[in-house]
Amino acid sequence: MAGLTGRMSTVVKAKVSKLLDRAEDPAETLDYSYQKQVEQLQNVKKGIADVVTAKKRLQMQECSLQQSVVKLDTQARQAVAAGQEDLARTALERKNVAQTELQGLDTQVTELEDQQQKLTDSEQKLRAKIEAFRTKKEVIKAQYSAAEAQVRISEAATGVGEQMADVGLAMQRAVDKTENMKARADAVSELEAAGTFEDIGQLGSGEDDIDRQLKQLSSQPAVDSELEKMKAELGSGAPAGAPADAPQISAPEAAQAPAPSQPSESGEQA
Amino acid sequence: MIARISGEGQYRLSDSDAEQMEELRGKALAIVDSGSEDGFADAFAALLDYVRAHGELLGDDELEGSDVILPPGDFSFEEAGREFTGEGLIPD
């Protein structure tokens, strides 16, 4: 914390003294300083727009991941109905991973929303400070001698500069968070690409790397118990593919499920 | 003196309040120094709450530099530690 305090002050002071060094004419310094502030405000706005874009991307990912969960659930039921327990297990494992990812994404979207709000607040504060600087610079130009003006400019520029640094800090933290999320979101995209299947028949081609990784990631007991539950539900007379929590997709897709006339033992792939 | 809570705003503190604040800051820093997270959140929250409660919030149109800059309220122990190891938060 001492580091933060020191660094932020140092950065601001260095910038202000650089500013004061560059022009002999106070009026020029003031105008230049104001112009720079307005430019930086534009950068802040751009930064906020980037955070919003990152958030939207995550929200879209959330949406498609939700669809994957529904689809995988349906596929697992179809596999159970077809007596293909291994396939059902794979689908449930993937569903489990997708759900975990979904929870993580949800937390991150909330965090990003929070960051966005803070940045917007900071931007408004900065805008107010810059406006105050604009007023003050005219007063300084009109009322002070060159020597006195130096001091006033330094004070005013420090006031704005500090707010600027503060927005910079908020922005940096938002960017760091966004980067973390991007890495995670990329992983989710891969999962999505691998995680659902055009056709349930594609499931049976044996275990690949992705499957092995998914198995490590997913919680085995949770998958086991869900599979048992599914078997019990489907075994107790309910027709295949009519789960209560996946109504939209299950009915039409269930009709395309492989006929349950296949051998119920799926040991041939093991 | 003027203390800024990063991400919130600047507060003007009387001399005696500033002393009290320094004491609270010292406590929070000592915890970060110890490397153990125990008590950090409480000590840090106490510090910021004190400034908010005893300081007078500066208007957005006041152009003053701060004597002390405190980290934002959602600053984590991990971030506080990083501050000390030099990686830092303020971009150049």
Reply yes or no on whether the pLDDT at A19 is more than 90.
no
| Nearest-angstrom CA–CA distance, B83 and A206 | 50
Residue A6 pLDDT level (bands cut at 50, 70, 90): low
Closest to A4 (Cβ–Cβ): which among B65, B89, B91?
Answer: B89
Judge: B89–A5 Cβ closer than 8 Å, yes or no.
no
Reply yes or no on whether the pLDDT at A197 is more than 50.
no
pLDDT tens readout for residues A88-100: 888 898 898 888 8
Provide the chain A residues 142-161 that lie in CB contact (below 8 A) with chain B.
Answer: 155-156, 158-161
What confidence score (pLDDT) does residue B83 get?
A: 60
Q: How far is A97 from chain B (nearest CA, A)?
A: 28
ipTM: 0.79
Task: Give yes or no for A43 touching B (CB within 8 A).
Answer: no
Q: What is the pTM of this model?
A: 0.67
Judge: B32–A1 Cβ closer than 8 Å, yes or no.
yes
Nearest CA in chain A to B85: A3
What confidence score (pLDDT) does residue A130 get?
A: 93
Mutate to test the interface with A, among B11, B22, B69, B76 (most CBs of A within 10 A): B69
Task: Give yes or no for A125 touching B (CB within 8 A).
Answer: yes
Judge: A158–B4 Cβ closer than 8 Å, yes or no.
no
Nearest CA in chain A to B72: A170
pLDDT tens readout for residues A215-265: 555 567 778 888 888 888 887 544 444 444 444 444 444 444 444 444 444
